[in-house]
Amino acid sequence: MRDNLFADVYALARQVPRGRVTTYGAIARALGLPNGARQVGWAMAVCPDDVPAHRVINASGRVSGSPEGSELRRAMLEDEGVEIRADGSISLRGYLWEP
């Protein structure tokens, strides 16, 4: 694993525009780690408060994490205008931002 991986993940996550989402895998690919989605997830699990972690979701279009944390992140996305479907997913076609 690269020494500055977490910092690189956070730098990309900070670029995700308000009202858009990206995936763990998209960040990993942008960093040259085609199989690094899990590593991105580890970084996001301990990210600083200034990183908009709620804008980074899984490849299924769902917010990951604990039930309490997931509810908060979904609410934050809705506040930004992101529509959450009845099944809890987000349209990647409509909201995905690729780094």
Q: Give yes or no for residue 1 having a pLDDT over 60.
A: no
Does the pLDDT at position 3 exceed 90? no
pLDDT in tens, 37-92: 999 999 999 999 999 999 999 999 999 888 888 999 999 999 999 999 999 999 99
Q: Where are the domains of the chain?
A: 5-95
Distance of alpha carbon 46 from the chain centroid:
13
The whole-angstrom distance between residue 60's C-alpha and the CA centroid of its chain comes to 12
Architecture of domain 5-95: Orthogonal Bundle (1.10)
pTM over 0.75: yes
pLDDT attached to residue 13: 98
Mean pLDDT value of segment 11-19: 98
SS3 78: helix
